[in-house]
Chains A and B, each alone.
Chain A
């Protein structure tokens, strides 16, 4: 099992462009989480998805950010019209089907480092 895959590992965008970050969960996992880590800070929850459903997006900025986890293919975190403040490491995690909470372990990807020029 290759683990959670994220690509690209590094992404450079100019202000105003779009950024698309991809996450392939571990085989058999149906829960996907996105976290953002700003410089010198801990990880902050953004969104929790299951296949074709957004379960909790309480951590997502109201504008420019969206996430999906289609029936086929990876989960996508999309940032439109990026600004310098979006520069951060974005981590994806997955967990197996069943109860998502209750002490279930999340498996993390290596992260995508987004730099906005």
Chain B
């Protein structure tokens, strides 16, 4: 079955510390993977997608097919990065997204 797992419900770091939000997926084909973010009192929005190989707001994510992972990383966390982060998988080519449970990132001053 297709599944996305985010093992950490809450990740708390100090400003300036490196951040890694973990995401593992279960899918036998070629996955399309995304990170979506929800800042306080805002709607869910796309942060980045693996197909673009881009860096947004200093965040990067590399698809590791061997480990079936798509961890989100940032070398130096900022307070404004505090938000809920969701990893998502599109396995069907219809845009049907399978979401992980989400990780709350808390960046302390």
Contacts and interface: CB of A to CB of B under 8 A. Distances in A.
Pick the most buried of B44, B93, B102: most chain A CB atoms within 10 A of its CB. B44
Given A100-B94, A108-B43, A43 B32 contact: no
Contacts of B49: 103, 105
Contacts of A106: 46, 95, 97
A110 B42 CA distance: 7
Contacts of B97: 33, 35, 43, 45, 106
B13 interface: no
Contact of B90 (A59, A101, A107): A101
Interface in A2-58: 3-4, 31, 33, 35, 40-45, 48, 55-56, 58
Interface residues on A, range: 20 to 34
Interface in A94-112: 95, 99-111
A41 B92 contact: no
Contacts of B86: 42-43
A112 B95 CA distance: 21
A91 B90 CA distance: 17
Pick the most buried of B4, B90, B94, B100: most chain A CB atoms within 10 A of its CB. B94
Contacts of B55: none
A108 B93 contact: no
Contacts of B45: 107-108
Contacts of B96: 33, 45, 48, 56, 58-59, 101
Contacts of A40: 101
A43 B43 contact: no
B49 to A, nearest CB: 5
Contacts of A56: 92, 94, 96
A88 B69 CA distance: 29
A9 to B, nearest CB: 11
A83 to B, nearest CB: 23
Interface of A: 3-4, 31, 33, 35, 40-45, 48, 55-56, 58-59, 91, 95, 99-111
Nearest 5 Cβ contacts at the A-B interface: A101-B93, A100-B95, A103-B51, A42-B99, A108-B44
